[in-house]
Structure 1
Amino acid sequence: MRFTHLALATLTALSASLALAQGAFPSRPVTLVVPFAPGGGTDTGARLVAQKLSLKWGQPVVIDNKGGAAGMIGADLVAKAKADGYTLLMGNIGTQAINPALYKKMPYDADHAFEPVSLVAELPLVMMVNPQVPAKTVKEFIAYAKTQPGRLSYSSSGAGGSMHLAAEMFKSGSSTFVLHVPYRGGGPAIADLIAGHVQLSFATVLESSGHIKSGTVRALAVTGDKRVPALPDVPTLAEAALPGFNSISWIGILAPAGTPKDIVDKISADVREVLAADETQRKLTDLGALPKGSTPAQFQQLIANDRKRYTQIILDKKIGID
């Protein structure tokens, strides 16, 4: 029986590689799973890349939003999908680097469930408040929060995501106490910030720049080590109040473990090609993302490095999922 399973697995891999050699991949629609609700930074980036890949491949790349459990529901769906390149994951720093460091139990083995394909973009975050909050700067917000302990709240895309970690790092660095309200993605988290149900949020510039420019939220600072071209007048948190603060997100494509290397390499090369196009670069940059393709090996190393970094941050700052 073991020999039969091995033979079948070998035959599947050989068939997939042969199909690729014949120029047949993809010969049908590809599903790109976004493990968050529509409207967030991961979703926005995924839709842009899916559109470009659809044009290049001559096959639809269909977005499937499967939000919940800090991205683990959608990630688990891909981890258990057939390893043939037709079901892919648009993961992010939360699903691939933070969750494994934060959650003791996950529905899949984070170390072996995926084949990294390519980084897509780095996503700086922005600290935002509802316009009704009487704070125009980070220092003013810190002072205000200290007069309202436990009465203010912040939204995130889910426990363990980059929005959550950035907010907890801010709370630790500023000695403030703001309640955490997790959502199923960045889109709903920002919607409730706009509605005034929460007062604060840290979200990607990619998903937030339109709301900031329209005035429905107020940007106080960006979280990276340099200002963002899409929001040139918004200072970094390090400039504004907390020297050394640096916390950004990223998004990237992964395939189920066992996907043939030929297919992984083809998808990776095609992703890098569409990301290098001037129009794609301009669209992502204008929205506040920093487009960056990579090889599978480079993406794997980034995931490993960030997991190590966030494991230490979570331990040092005693960050939990409650």
Structure 2
Amino acid sequence: MALSSRLRSLAALSLAACAGTALAAPDNFPSRPIRLIVAYPSGGISDTVARALGEKLSAQLGTSVVVENRGGAGGSIGIDAVAKAPADGYTLGFSSTSPLTLTPHVSHVNYDPKHDIAPVMSVMYSPVLVVATHSFQGKTFQDLLAQAKAKPGSVRWATSGQGTIGHVMLEQIKAKTRTDLIMVPYKGAGQQLNDALGGQFEVMSTNASPMLTQHMQAGRLRPLAVGAPKRLESLPAVPTFAELGIPRANLTSTFGIFAPAKTPPAILARLNTELNKALAEPDVRDRLLKGGVVPTGGSAAQFAAAIRGEYEDNARIVREAGIKED
């Protein structure tokens, strides 16, 4: 979900930071393969980054890291699998923070977001781009708002689903600009992107990804605005929502590594140290940056504090926006 100021500071931290001086993990850890559950389908930026980290972690720990994709429900299915796994360090999850900080406010989940999951490390934040399809004839975000005001209901805005970051972004824009923008919810980014290329709607909000970048570079999709702390180096002409006068829509998605809540602190500390080391590797950092995302890193305590703050922020946003479960 939204990258709050608490999480933005993580990007400036040393990627070599560790969780502290907790007691050492058992000498035999790990003694068998580690399962890394990715809470999204294969092929996306989340899957790419998780597999890159898994490869490094495997080499560093001397054991296999088996990646398992458990997509669905905006990441909640994968997080639920992590929450119910044995708390022994051999099951980890890779997900955005949304299943812990946003989804519980808008729909039922089968886990306790505050007590069933242990944050291990923030990995990256992903800017949220608003891009136009060939069905929209304007050139700027201001043109989009002008059309929505002149012809209410004529702008269809695709998101990845009810209660997702794209939905929250849209509600913030509607509240600030008082425009009639029609949400078209999807269950995932794949079909959303396919329909965007087919011009099935005028605009969509979606996370940065290599595939999206390719389509923008080819001119098939046109970026209008971005949710990010600052303009992206790869898209220097695209303004942030803060610049457009809608700071509460200036949202990003944050991703990290999680474990079952009762995983021993010593094991969590060992994993945090090794993950920070893996994230600091130049080839991993380059893979993230080329994919349009920004590496973060830092301690488990910092990540947990940021998630707590984000949970409270999202409770307010959802309440004020009137977002409810379908």
TM-score norm. by structure 2 comes to: 0.84
Rate the CA distance shift 1:299–1:181 in 2: closer, same or farther, 3 A.
same
2:224–2:239 Cα contact (<8 Å) kept? yes
**Higher RCO (Cα < 8 Å, 6 or more apart):** 2
Q: How big is the shift at 1:96?
A: 1.8
Residue 144 of structure 2 corresponds to residue 141 of structure 1? yes
Match of 1:28 among 26, 32, 42: 32
Give the aligned partner of residue 170 of structure 1. 173
Displacement after TM superposition at 1:77 (Å)? 1.3
Distance 2:234 2:291 in 1: 6
The amino acid that maps onto 1:203 is: T
The yes-or-no answer on 1:227 pairing with 2:199 is no
Q: Distance in 1 between matches of 2:66 and 2:103?
A: 25
Identify the residue that residue 6 of structure 1 maps to in structure 2.
none
1:159 aligns with one of 146, 155, 162: 162
Alignment check: 8 A CA contact 2:40 2:95 kept: no
In structure 2, what is the equivalent of residue 95 of structure 1? 99
Contact 2:122 / 2:255 at 8 angstroms: preserved in 1? yes
Q: Deviations over 1:248-294 (max 9, x none)?
A: 11101100111111211111111111112222222212322110112
* CA 138–225 in structure 1, closer or farther in 2 if over 3 Å, else same: same
Corresponding residue for residue 184 of structure 1: 187
- Give the drift of 1:72: 1.6
* C-alpha distance in structure 2 between counterparts of 1:137 and 1:27, whole Å: 55
Letter in 1 for 2:291: L
Alignment check: 8 A CA contact 1:194 1:217 kept: yes
Q: CA–CA distance in 1 between the matches of 2:29 and 2:159?
A: 37
Residue 209 of structure 2: SS of its match in structure 1?
A: helix
What amino acid is aligned across from residue 190 of structure 1 in structure 2?
Answer: L
In structure 1, how many angstroms separate the alpha carbons of the residues matched to 2:43 and 2:174? Answer: 26
* Distance in 2, Cα, partners of 1:44 & 1:144: 37
1:79 is matched with which residue: 75, 83, 91? 83
Structure 2 residue identity aligned to 1:167: L
Of residues 125, 128, 149, the one that matches 2:128 is 125
Q: 1:200 aligns with which of 158, 181, 203?
A: 203
Deviations 1:48-104 (A, max 9, x none): 32233233334332332222222222211111111122221112131121112323x
- Matched with 1:115 is 118
**TM-score, normalized by length of structure 1?**
0.85
Give 3-state SS (helix, strand or coil) of 1:237's partner.
Answer: coil
Deviation at 1:214, TM superposition (A): 2.8
Aligned pair in 2 of structure 1 residues 31, 145: CA closer, same or farther (>3 Å)? farther
Q: Where do 1:42-53 residues align within 5 Å?
A: 42-53=46-57
Give yes or no for contact 1:102–1:314 (8 Å, CA) kept in 2.
yes
Larger CA deviation: 218-227 vs 151-160: 151-160
Aligned to 2:13: none
C-alpha deviation, 1:144, in angstroms:
2.0
Residue of 134, 150, 153 corresponding to 1:150 = 153
Match of 1:66 among 70, 77, 80: 70
| Structure with the larger helix share | 1
Specify every segment of 5 or more residues in structure 2 that has no aligned partner in the other structure, as ranges: 1-22
CA gap 1:211/1:63 in 2 versus in 1, 3 angstroms: farther
Separation (CA, whole Å) in 2 of partners of 1:116 and 1:42: 17
The percent of aligned pairs where both chains have the same amino acid is: 35
- 1:313 aligns with 317
Deviates more, 1:55-64 or 1:262-271: 55-64
Query: Does structure 1 conserve the Cα–Cα contact (< 8 Å) formed by 2:40 and 2:46?
Result: yes
| Structure-1 separation of matches of 2:244 and 2:74 | 30
Contact 1:120 1:253 in 2 (8 A): yes
Question: Which segment drifts farther, 211-220 or 170-179?
Answer: 170-179
Q: How does 1:11-22 map to 2 (within 5 A)?
A: 20-22=25-27
Q: Which amino acid aligns with 1:282?
A: D
In structure 2, give the amino acid aligned to 1:21.
P
CA positional deviation for 1:151: 4.4
Structure 2 counterparts to residues 157-306 of structure 1, below 5 A:
157-206=160-209, 208-240=212-244, 242=246, 245-306=249-310
Given that residues 147 and 154 in structure 2 are in contact (C-alpha distance below 8 angstroms), is that contact kept between their aligned partners in structure 1?
no
Structure 1 runs (4+) deviating above 4 angstroms are: none
Stretch of structure 1 that moved more, 32-41 or 114-123: 32-41
